[in-house]
Structures are given as C-alpha cells and as structure tokens.
Structure 1
Amino acid sequence: MSDEVEPGFVRVRLDLSYDGAEFSGWAKQAGGRRTVQGEIEDALRTVTRSKETYELTVAGRTDAGVHARGQVAHVDLPAEVWAEHADKLLRRLAGRLPKDVRVWRVAEAPYGFNARFSAIWRRYAYRVTDHHGGVDPLLRSHVLWHDWELDVDAMNEASRPLLGEHDFAAYCKRREGATTIRTLQELSWERGADGIITATVRADAFCHNMVRSLVGAMLFVGDGHRAPDWPGKVLAAGVRDSAVHVVRPHGLTLEEVGYPADALLMARNQEARNKRTLPGAGCC
C-alpha cells in the first residue's frame, strides 16, 4: 500500500504533548466530546484561515485520561498553505491552543514519513506510589496510588518472560480484524529517590489497553497477591483473565516515539501495515 503524499500537498510533522485529564482521548468522537485531535485540528484550521479541516494521523491513539510528553502526528497541508504559514505556525498554535495541549515542533516531514506506520517503537511510562500517605497532591493527576507495598524486584522478575514477540491477546481488548501480536522490547520497574515507582514499557506497537493491563498484572505480583510466574502463565493461556486489572489511565504517559533513518521510513511504513502472525501460526 502506497503512502505517497497527494500532488500539491506537503506532509508536516508535529511533535506535541498534552495533559490527558480533561480529554476523552486522542481521537475525534461523535457527540462533541473534547479530544486532543479535535483541539489541534480546530486550531490549525483557525490559524491557517482554512475552510477545510485537515485531518491528523497520530503515532499512538491514547485513551481518555492518558497523557503524552512525546507524541507525534502528521498532517497533509496544501503547499500554498504551508508556504504562507510555515514560519509562523508554531507561535500561532501556541496562542490558539488550550493550555493542556502544546505543539513543540512543526516541520516538513521527510519522504515516506507516516507518524503511525513509520514508527518502530513507542515508549510509555506508568507511575505509581505505594507510600502509606498516598500521592503528592501536586502529582495526583499523573501518579497512581497503590495501597499495598510493592516489591520492585518481584515485578522485574515477572516482567522478563513477557519480552519478545508474543500474542498478547490475554492483555488486550480485542478489536475486530486487528492482530494482538506485538514485540515487547522493554518492561522494567524502578523506584526513584522520591519513592515513585516507574514502569518503562516499550514495544513496536500496542494493542488496546495493553500497557494498563500489563501494569495491573505486575502490581498484583508486586503486592504479593500472585507469584512472579503468574503473568507469563496468563500470556501463554492467550485469553483474558478476570484477575488482570486494567489500571486507571492517569498514571500513564506516552514518553517517546522512535523512527528509523529517513532512508528507511517508507519501507517501515509499508511493513507495518502487514498483519502479523507468529511462527507456525495460520495466516488468517
């Protein structure tokens, strides 16, 4: 499948961040709900004085309440609109956008770039505290309070068998026609000097609720309710386990999206559109 930009248009990359607390997720929705995509598209239409809304494509469609520090999107703008507004676009967006979403960089994208399909990994962080007193009020919208003490070593032990390419059906909300095969590149836990425990979760892509489900399973291990081998057994079973709790969204932040060298962008773009199967599995 080709992803050539239409003649007369320029593909523009946007690097952005947002506090997800007051958003109903990234993607536009019916019913007038407030979304990140909707706010940015409205702002773009206003500052470029366009009658048409130019649709954004995003690297990771975050759910309601999920934050982003390193989100990436692209938009195809008419060449004349880009030529007129390129130098002023960033400052004008800053003046038009609400304070809980910011665009930090606007630039013409290299050939073959697609914010979603060219990405080779997404890195999320989930932050949780087990402090007996709860969460610092200044961090309450970004850190989950877990009211059982957590064993970080046990959570790291439980995380290791999940690394690599697997079918994560047991940790995903299934979507019709979508594969649940993913390559989990990193799942690690570290307690900071402030007592906040941060999970770093990186994969080539994530299926719906995957990060929050993985975190929920590891918290069950960390607080002693399950043994370290339990998350791996759940993965192998391949079905949703009622004991795997999808943790609340506010502790989750999309930190960074990785892309290959410019010369490899189109190849990655096309490769990522192929539906994957595990070795030895049927294709359909």
Structure 2
Amino acid sequence: MSDEAAPGFVRVRLDLSYDGKDFSGWAKQRERRTVQGELESALGTVTRSSETPDLTVAGRTDAGVHARGQVAHVDLPEELWAEHRDKLLRRLAGRLPHDVRVWRVAAAPPGFNARFSAIWRRYAYRVVDHPGGVDPLLRGHVLWHDWPLDVDAMNAASAPLLGEHDFAAYCKRRDGATTIRTLQKLSWERGADGVITATVRADAFCHNMVRSLVGALLFTGDGHRPVDWPGKVLAAGVRDSAVHVVRPHGLTLEEVGYPADELLAARNKESRNKRSLPGAGCC
C-alpha cells in the first residue's frame, strides 16, 4: 500500500458518513452489502472507469457501526480526475444509496494515506438509562441500558485505562495482529436529553475494543462491578466472560485526525513500524 499515487494518477481524499444499520461493515464481501462495495461501485459508474476503483479507509467499521467522519482515499487516473473533479460530488450523491454520503472530494497532499497517516480516531458510543427506553427517533443510534447509570463512577473506572497498554482483554484476537494501543481519551457525559455519550479516542483500535470497553464500564456504572474492575481486567490481559461486547448500533466513528502535511511521511513510517499487519475491523 503506497503512500504516493503511481505516475499518471492522482490520490483523492473522500470525507464521508453512513448509517451502518443495513451494511455488513465497511470491507467488501462477496454477496453482502458493504460501504466499500457501494462506494467503489458508485465511483466506477459515475467516472465510467474501465477498472473498479480501490478504496483505502481510515478505519474499517464492523456491521451495524455508523460513521459521521470517515475518511478514505482512492487513486484515479489524472485525465479521469481532471474530467470529473468538479462534478464528482454531485454525481456521487445521485448514484449512492441514501444511507451513505460523500461530503468532500479533494486531491490529497503528497504522502497522504487515509489509514497510515491518521494519528487518532474518535468514536462516540451513546446509551440511555431512562426506564421508558429510547426515543423512537434515536433508536437506531442509541443503546438502551435498563439499569440506572452512575456517570461519575464510569469516568472514575475509565481513568486507569488511559495510555499505552496491551488491550488483549478487550479485543477479539486475530493471528499476528498486535493488541497494543494508546488510548488517548475515554470519558462519559450525560446530556440534557438524557443521552449518555462515551467519547473514545485512540491512535488506533483493535477488533471489538470500543464495544468491549463500553460493556465493561456499563457494568461499573450500574453497580454490578466495582470501579476498579475494568482496570483489573486490563491488567489480567485475558478475556473476562463478564465483559460483554455491546451492540454495534450505539457506536459512531465521529472523526479522524491527521498531522500537518509536512509530517505525513514520518507518520506513515511510524504507523507501519508499530503495526505491520492489518488492524482488522473496528470496534
């Protein structure tokens, strides 16, 4: 996976969002509907390309997970980009299904790689503990937890998880893939509407990491486990049967962070040194 487009090609950055409900995740799968599949098909159609464009994404989301701030790149022939650049956004809007939208297309700076250039990904997980359930208008994006939640307790339990750790206890293991990650932020806040939002930011995530962390912290918030329990699970380094992977519909990829253009090459090298194998789906 090169950090530069091949001669005669232009690397194009796409900023997009999607409702994950009816997708089997980001990555292409035979006979399953995916975000990547829909986007590549639409790009090929509107550009009348003889070859299917190949997208690289910042974070491959799992089935049912949403995205508001996803980033991808694609390398297009120079003549094709010159012909379609001013019309591409509108044409994609006319071709794509209503549950995926591209909001911006632009030539990427030299060295840009949607995956390896990223310095962090920020997710939000939303949950309500109202005894009546979830607002029907939010049901596709908010989890209902049927026990009262103590946000202060969840924030206290989150603090020991911050920093660089081996998150094997909170990840679904994949052969050859590291589970060492740097968790930069994990905080909980109850909004005026009663929706409790977990903000989770890290340099990268391993498979099921966010949803496992949320599952453990909800058990702390509702009193089923003590505040120090999530930290003890992390330190043990093995999966605990009490840690549940919560449902995907409460999870949204909100934003991907990148360094200044002049730092892209250094960041790409650093990312590859840390994780030479694919990081799998998220989260």
Give the shorter-chain TM-score range: over 0.9
Q: What is aligned with 2:227?
A: 228
The CA distance in 1 between the partners of 2:8 and 2:236, in whole Å, is: 51
Q: What is aligned with 1:7?
A: 7
Q: Secondary structure at the match of 1:122?
A: strand
The CA distance in 2 between the partners of 1:22 and 1:5, in whole Å, is: 32
Structure 2 CA distance for partners of 1:235 and 1:120, relative to 1, 3 Å: same
The CA distance in 1 between the partners of 2:17 and 2:184, in whole Å, is: 23
Q: What is aligned with 1:122?
A: 121
User: For each residue in 1:10-43, what CA deviation from the matched residue of structure 2 results, as whole angstroms up to 9, or x when unmatched?
Assistant: 100000000000000000012x100000000000
Q: Secondary structure at the match of 1:274?
A: helix
Q: Secondary structure at the match of 1:193?
A: coil
What TM-score does the superposition give when structure 1 sets the normalisation length? 0.96
- Please state how far the C-alpha of 1:127 moved relative to its aligned partner: 0.2
The CA distance in 1 between the partners of 2:166 and 2:81, in whole Å, is: 42
For structure 2, the residue ranges without an aligned partner over 5 or more in a row are 276-283
The code of the aligned residue for 1:69 comes to R
For structure 1, the residue ranges without an aligned partner over 5 or more in a row are 277-284
The CA distance in 2 between the partners of 1:74 and 1:148, in whole Å, is: 42
How many residues align? The count is 275
Q: What is aligned with 2:158?
A: 159
CA contact (8 A) 2:4 2:112 kept: no
The CA distance in 2 between the partners of 1:259 and 1:168, in whole Å, is: 23
The code of the aligned residue for 2:215 comes to G
User: For each residue in 1:71-102, what CA deviation from the matched residue of structure 2 results, as whole angstroms up to 9, or x when unmatched?
Assistant: 00000011111011001000000000000000
Equivalent residue runs for 1:162-201 within 5 Å: 162-201=161-200
Q: Secondary structure at the match of 1:94?
A: helix
Q: What is aligned with 1:24?
A: 24
User: For each residue in 1:109-159, what CA deviation from the matched residue of structure 2 results, as whole angstroms up to 9, or x when unmatched?
Assistant: 001100000000000000000000000001000000000000000000000
Divergent runs of 4+, >4 A: none
User: For each residue in 1:214-246, what CA deviation from the matched residue of structure 2 results, as whole angstroms up to 9, or x when unmatched?
Assistant: 000000000000000000000000011111000
The answer to whether structure 1 residue 101 and structure 2 residue 89 are counterparts is no
Q: What is aligned with 1:141?
A: 140
- Please state how far the C-alpha of 1:3 moved relative to its aligned partner: 2.3
CA contact (8 A) 2:68 2:254 kept: yes
Q: Identity percentage over the alignment?
A: 87
User: For each residue in 1:183-220, what CA deviation from the matched residue of structure 2 results, as whole angstroms up to 9, or x when unmatched?
Assistant: 00000000000001000000000000000000000000
The CA distance in 2 between the partners of 1:50 and 1:255, in whole Å, is: 31
CA contact (8 A) 2:27 2:60 kept: yes
CA contact (8 A) 1:2 1:270 kept: no
The CA distance in 1 between the partners of 2:273 and 2:154, in whole Å, is: 33
Q: What is aligned with 1:280?
A: none
The code of the aligned residue for 1:80 comes to E
The CA distance in 1 between the partners of 2:173 and 2:9, in whole Å, is: 36
The CA distance in 1 between the partners of 2:201 and 2:223, in whole Å, is: 25
Q: What is aligned with 1:48?
A: 47
Structure 2 CA distance for partners of 1:2 and 1:60, relative to 1, 3 Å: closer
Q: Secondary structure at the match of 2:105?
A: strand
CA contact (8 A) 2:10 2:76 kept: yes
Q: What is aligned with 2:281?
A: none
The CA distance in 2 between the partners of 1:152 and 1:193, in whole Å, is: 14
Q: What is aligned with 2:280?
A: none
What TM-score does the superposition give when structure 2 sets the normalisation length? 0.96
CA contact (8 A) 2:13 2:71 kept: yes
